[in-house]
């Protein structure tokens, strides 16, 4: 893998990780176009998520410190949020561990991604037409409602669905304001992405190092970090005044492009 390929993949990861468009789906498509496939390529796509994690750590330090204080008994609101994040993290962690091999075998292809992009877009458009945004603050989120968001996150084990979309819509349906729902999605991503990155690093670190060496990993991490910070700031501002229709159009357009590439034989399924 060249440095520019690593930079491109890091850019795609950083921009799409927290937008409701599926970073995994984007990465699978770009990797197919670059000819980057196999266990090492899959592990690389997971490990550069560390850049997106670093972006949230840099953008939400006060909230993260509040949660840390709460889990140590020094902040009631922080403790409630921390317990809620753990409750939301567990469903996907358990299902992911139990069915990891099956998910990769069945769903890590472009046709499943195209289908998921399309279904997610339809869900967004339906929400735009019939849904009503919630108004609740993040501080009022109970662990019971957080666990329901965690169950919704399990849908994102299907590449193309989008972890951000499933958790964002679930949070809004459960009464959170769009901005509060997206912040919870960011914080939950710290646990979910962090666990996936550590797991992949421990199991595939030697393979990654032997296949690519340090330069692509550093470049991918750096570009993912910078682009994720910009994407997170933009998404919060966008959701304060606008809805999800833009992302539905994004998903439908990309699904059509990917389907065309598949049918024409430019990329393999």
pLDDT in tens, the chain (269 residues): 888 999 999 999 999 998 998 888 888 889 888 888 888 888 888 888 889 999 989 888 998 999 999 888 878 888 999 999 999 999 988 887 777 777 777 667 788 889 999 999 999 899 888 877 777 888 888 989 999 999 998 888 888 888 889 999 999 889 888 888 888 998 998 888 888 888 887 877 888 888 888 899 999 999 999 999 999 999 888 887 888 889 999 999 999 998 998 888 777 66
127, 121 contact by CB (below 8 A)? no
196, 58 contact by CB (below 8 A)? no
Q: Cα dist. 235→58, 93, 164 in Å? A: 16, 26, 11
The one-character DSSP state at 19 is T
- pTM of the entire predicted model: 0.85
Angle of helix 143-153 relative to helix 76-107, nearest 10 degrees, comes to 20
**b/e map of 160-169 (b: 16 or more CB within 10 Å)?**
bbbbbbbbbb
Q: Say how many C-beta atoms besides its own lie within 10 A of residue 183's C-beta.
A: 22
Residues 1, 22: Cα–Cα separation, whole Å: 23
């Amino acid at each position: 893998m060249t440095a520019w390929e690593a930079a491109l993949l890091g850019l795609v990861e950083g921009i799409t990780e927290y937008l409701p468009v599926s970073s995994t789906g984007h990465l699978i498509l770009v990797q197919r176009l670059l000819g980057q496939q196999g266990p090492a390529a899959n592990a690389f796509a997971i490990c550069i998520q560390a850049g997106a994690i670093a972006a949230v750590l840099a953008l939400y330090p006060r909230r993260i410190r509040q949660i840390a204080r709460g889990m140590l008994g020094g902040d009631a609101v922080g403790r409630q949020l921390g317990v809620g994040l753990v409750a939301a993290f567990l469903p996907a962690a358990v299902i992911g561990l139990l069915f990891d091999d099956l998910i990769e075998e069945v769903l890590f292809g472009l046709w499943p991604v195209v289908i998921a992009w399309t279904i997610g877009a339809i869900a967004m458009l339906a929400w735009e037409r019939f849904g009503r945004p919630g108004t609740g603050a993040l501080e009022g989120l109970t662990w019971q409602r957080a666990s329901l968001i965690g169950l919704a996150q399990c849908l994102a084990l299907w590449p193309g669905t989008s972890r951000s979309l499933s958790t964002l819509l679930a949070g809004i349906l459960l009464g959170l304001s769009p901005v509060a729902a997206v912040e919870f999605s960011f914080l939950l991503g710290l646990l979910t992405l962090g666990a996936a990155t550590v797991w992949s690093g421990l199991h595939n670190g030697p393979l990654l190092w032997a296949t690519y060496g340090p330069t692509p990993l550093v470049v991918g991490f750096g570009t993912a970090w910078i682009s994720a910070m910009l994407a997170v700031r933009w998404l919060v501002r966008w959701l304060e005044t606008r809805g999800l229709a833009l992302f539905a159009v994004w998903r439908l357009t990309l699904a059509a492009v990917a389907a065309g590439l598949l049918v024409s034989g430019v990329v393999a399924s």
